[in-house]
């Protein structure tokens, strides 16, 4: 039996604060900056694993909360873990369930031990603690396990954010104790502290003292807005260890990714490309495009002329528009494929720009093209 490579991170180069790196896992390497498509219930909605891989994705994310409720952690374990169950041969990151149970609002109860909550599926009662979450992620065979934390709501006063962060740090310690180190696997701690510099720096100090294979920035993209998010990254990123991967959780729009990479983030996840793909919104080099809009009904041009995905290389805007109007499943499949391809192309372009030492120029061009907007509609006559 060949030995699995150890989990690790290599910083290959920098351009300003932007970082070009590589995460090594027992199940494949991930070039960073990287975007992780979300497969909430062990499925990237509307996409086969090989198609997800073909977009350029090297790692995907699944949700502890959803999988513990259905089909259940023990069942997933019997089926060989999430990766084997869903036929994904690359690395897999699982969130800890903390974010999902927070969003349950009145359905959950939180104390020092953990969180008791009612299932959104059948109302049954469940308990998540740092120990249980870590054990479940082990059963799911997560390549990267996330520490169990409380995602501090926004806005919160500094004292509320301080108490919440302190609880998350005690939970981080317990999560680390519960984690079973194995070659090729890693666990990330999660920095909290809302938008307060002092709290974020304290959180980092405590997490680094515990020691993780990587560090995530949590508690952002929860309604604070892009300006406050970037301001928080401005003081958070420089305090993170340079030799470990940095993951910004739940982010975001294309412009958020570019701005966060500029500030030193390496990894991202977001439901946006797949969720938007189901509602008719396509991301393009000229900004977002709503394919349900009547202006596309006669348009024979591709959604994005610079995109090599099947939706753009084989089909017209008019056909995609028709598929959404007719509520054909193929419409959401093609648009998810396109959006994931767009996100992966954006990450690849950022990696190339960092390597070439022209990231600032890339970011300016990106903003200019996004601001220019979509291509002009065809005149009614030209459309005939």
Farthest CA pair distance, the chain = 69
Looking at the Cβ atoms of 119 and 316, the one nearer to Zn ion is 316
Whether 335 and 296 have beta carbons less than 8 Å apart is answered as no
CA dist list (Å): 15 to 20, 262, 306, 308: 8, 9, 26, 28
Radius of gyration of the chain (CA): 21
Interface with Zn ion by CB under 5 A: which range of 113-121, 255-263, 303-311, 318-326? 303-311
CB of 18 to Zn ion, least distance (A): 25
Looking at the Cβ atoms of 149 and 304, the one nearer to Zn ion is 304
Interface with Zn ion by CB under 5 A: which range of 159-167, 307-315, 326-334, 375-383? 307-315
Whether 43 and 61 have beta carbons less than 8 Å apart is answered as no
Report whether the peptide linkage leading into residue 155 is cis, meaning its omega lies within 30 degrees of zero: yes
266 is catalytic: no
Looking at the Cβ atoms of 55 and 156, the one nearer to Zn ion is 55
Q: Which of 149, 256, 269, 345 is catalytic?
A: 269
Q: Is 127 exposed, middle or buried (0-12, 13-18, 19+ CB in 10 A)?
A: exposed
Looking at the Cβ atoms of 265 and 334, the one nearer to Zn ion is 334
149 is catalytic: no
Q: Is 274 helix (H, G, I), strand (E, B) or coil?
A: helix
Whether 9 and 214 have beta carbons less than 8 Å apart is answered as yes
The DSSP H or E segment spanning 30 is: strand 28-32
The DSSP H or E segment spanning 323 is: helix 317-325
Q: Which of 95, 299, 304, 374 is catalytic?
A: 95
- In degrees rounded to 5, what are phi and psi of residue 150? -100, 120
Among 30, 307, 323, 334, binds Zn ion (CB under 5 A): 307
CB of 28 to Zn ion, least distance (A): 25
CB of 339 to Zn ion, least distance (A): 8
Closest CA to 276 of 100, 46, 121, 33: 46
CB of 375 to Zn ion, least distance (A): 14
Q: What is the DSSP letter of 90?
A: S
Looking at the Cβ atoms of 165 and 309, the one nearer to Zn ion is 309
CB of 310 to Zn ion, least distance (A): 8
Looking at the Cβ atoms of 190 and 307, the one nearer to Zn ion is 307
Among 309, 323, 333, 350, binds Zn ion (CB under 5 A): 309
Decide the pairing of beta strands 115-118 and 108-110: antiparallel
Q: What is the DSSP letter of 38?
A: B
Looking at the Cβ atoms of 39 and 302, the one nearer to Zn ion is 302
Sequential DSSP letters for 52-107? HHHTT---EEEEHHHHHHTT-HHHHHHTTHHHHHHT--S-EEEE-SHHHHHTTGGG
CB of 273 to Zn ion, least distance (A): 11
CB of 187 to Zn ion, least distance (A): 35
- Using CB under 5 A as the binding rule, the residues of this chain from 312 to 371 that contact Zn ion are 312, 338
CA dist list (Å): 102 to 94, 97, 149, 150: 16, 9, 10, 7
Tokens coding 151? 């995602």
Tokens coding 184? 């090729």
Whether 357 and 16 have beta carbons less than 8 Å apart is answered as no
Q: Under the rule (CB under 5 A), what is the footprint of Zn ion? A: 307, 309, 311-312, 338
Q: Report, as residue numbers or ranges, the catalytic residues.
A: 95, 269
């Amino acid at each position: 039996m060949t030995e699995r490579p150890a989990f690790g991170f290599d910083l290959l180069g920098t351009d300003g604060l932007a970082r070009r790196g590589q995460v090594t896992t027992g199940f494949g390497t991930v070039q960073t900056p990287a975007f992780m498509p979300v497969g909430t219930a062990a499925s990237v909605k509307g996409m086969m694993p090989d198609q997800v891989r073909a977009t350029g994705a090297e790692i995907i994310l699944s949700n502890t909360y959803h999988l513990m409720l259905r089909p259940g952690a023990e069942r997933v374990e019997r089926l060989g873990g999430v990766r084997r169950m869903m036929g994904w041969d690359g690395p897999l990151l699982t969130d800890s369930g903390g974010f999902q149970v927070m969003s349950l609002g009145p359905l959950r109860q939180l104390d020092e031990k953990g969180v008791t909550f009612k299932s959104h599926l059948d109302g049954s009662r469940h308990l998540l603690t740092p120990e249980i979450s870590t054990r479940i992620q082990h059963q799911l065979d997560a390549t990267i396990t996330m520490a169990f934390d409380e995602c501090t709501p926004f806005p919160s006063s500094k004292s509320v954010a301080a108490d919440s962060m302190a609880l998350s740090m005690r939970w981080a310690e317990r999560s680390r104790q519960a984690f079973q180190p194995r070659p090729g696997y890693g666990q990330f701690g999660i920095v909290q502290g809302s938008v307060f510099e002092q709290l974020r720096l304290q959180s980092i100090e405590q997490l680094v003292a515990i020691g993780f294979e990587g560090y995530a920035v949590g508690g952002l993209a929860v309604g604070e807005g892009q300006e406050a998010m970037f301001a928080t990254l401005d003081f958070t990123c420089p305090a993170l260890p340079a030799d470990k991967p940095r993951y910004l959780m739940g982010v975001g729009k294309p412009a958020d990714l570019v701005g966060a990479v500029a500030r030193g983030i390496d990894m991202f996840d977001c439901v946006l490309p797949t969720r938007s793909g189901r509602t008719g919104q396509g991301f393009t080099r000229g900004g977002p495009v709503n394919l349900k809009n009547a202006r596309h009904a006669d348009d024979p041009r591709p959604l994005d002329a610079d995109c090599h995905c099947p939706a753009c290389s084989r089909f017209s805007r008019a056909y995609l528009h028709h598929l959404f109007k007719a509520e054909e499943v193929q419409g959401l499949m093609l648009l998810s494929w396109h959006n994931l391809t767009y996100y992966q192309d954006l990450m690849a372009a950022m990696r190339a720009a960092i390597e070439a030492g022209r990231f600032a120029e890339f970011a300016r061009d990106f903003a200019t093209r996004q601001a220019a907007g979509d291509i002009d509609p065809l005149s009614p006559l030209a459309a005939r």
